[in-house]
Every structure is written in C-alpha cells, then in structure tokens.
Amino acid sequence: MKKKVYISGPISGVRNDKYRDKFRAADKKLHEEGHYGIDPSVFGKPGQHSWAYYMRAAIPELCKCDAIYMLEGWRHSKGARLEHTIARELGMEIRDEESEENLDTGDYAQEEF
C-alpha cells in the first residue's frame, strides 16, 4: 500500500543547505519504495523565519501523513524530536533511517513500510 510519509530530520544549524541533500535522498528512496514523501525542507531556508514559524507550517503536514521517516541525527534536533513525539502519540508508523528499523509500528503493525 502506498503511504504518505513525512520526512523528519535536522535542518536548523546544518551548514550550507546540506540538509536539503539528505531530505531529497530520503524522498527519492521513499518514492522508489512506492511511497509519497513529504519534504518539509522545501518550506524555506533557516533564518528567513523563526523556528516556530516553520514548525507551525510543518506540523499540519505531518498530521496528514500515514508514517514518518526519521533521518540520521534526528535525536539532536528539537523540531525532529517534536515531530517524532507527535507521530508517536498519533499512532503513526515511525521508521529510522540509521537502523532501517521501525521504532514504533503504530496502527500499521501488520503492514510493511
């Protein structure tokens, strides 16, 4: 089943827009697996608006998704940790890029991601 998957990872504090490459690669991987990726890195560049502004834009998009894909380093990102908490509390499937394991299967326990 094709899923809508939110991509979450560090953006603020990552130099030279390197975060965009990681988000694009994750989006490509999800697409190759037959899923539709939601890439919040396209919402704008850090510094153009406040962190809160970006989170207010990102969270509604996360809530429309079936699952979340946590990029390497997400545990060091305040925004990604918040997105992870929201996804967990909503019972979403949570997948970790580093381990390629599901951190929590939410309501999708019987389905493969």
Q: Is residue 86 part of a domain?
A: yes
Specify if 93 maps to a domain.
Answer: yes
* CATH number of the domain within which 12 lies: 3.40.50.10400
Do the domain assignments include residue 28? yes
The three state secondary structure string of the chain is CCCEEEEECCCCCCHHHHHHHHHHHHHHHHHHCCCEEECHHHHCCCCCCCHHHHHHHHHHHHHCCCEEEECCCHHHCHHHHHHHHHHHHCCCEEEECCCCEEEECHHHCCCCC
Q: What is the pLDDT along the chain (113 residues), one digit of tens a residue?
A: 899 999 999 987 666 667 888 999 999 999 999 999 999 988 877 678 888 999 999 999 999 999 999 999 999 999 999 999 999 999 999 999 887 656 554 554 444 55
- Identify whether 113 is part of a domain: no
Look up the pTM and report it: 0.84
Range of 41's domain?
Answer: 4-108
Does any domain span residue 64? yes
Number of domains within the chain: 1
Identify whether 101 is part of a domain. yes
